[in-house]
Structure 1
């Protein structure tokens, strides 16, 4: 039985010197594409490349911090190189299920100035 369906996906690139703000652009593109406000998300998983990066991105996007990395992020859980996106999505899906939330947002920055963002909706 599927845990969730993908509502939308977006990617964005910024100049490499602004790498850690790339998720802001990716999330904004995603929200425009799926026509949902950030407030619609029950949970948000953002890769914590660095704590300051997470805080800056959350501030720019207006995160409700009670919904962000509720089990700890990469600083607490680890940052498996090449598998961070999978770890973030798995954490998000299982926590949405546990809390019976509806929408989840996963996002991370990529080397060289890229970012990805994905919205999911819990099924069942």
Structure 2
């Protein structure tokens, strides 16, 4: 299960999860969701961003970057009697949801996906 490492505050952990999810969501929006782009390299781009997020944020928060990724291990730990860190679970809700929402607004503003003219392949 994911968890904050020693010396990391609650606020720092939320910020790290938010930043990691923000970068991931921008990549998803730009490479897989935008109708102007071909999806040929979307999987590679998204996978590389996930790897980069894990390398950068793994030693800070465990790099869940997805509330479901944190919830599953927490639930299994609870059911099987393992160590339960439910007090840290809000980190994996607030950070990723906030980061994803901010990324969606930023992409809508910067990427202008409603503009049908232009293409990523041009």
TM-score w.r.t. length of structure 2: 0.27
Bigger share in helix: 2
TM-score w.r.t. length of structure 1: 0.27
Larger Rg: 2
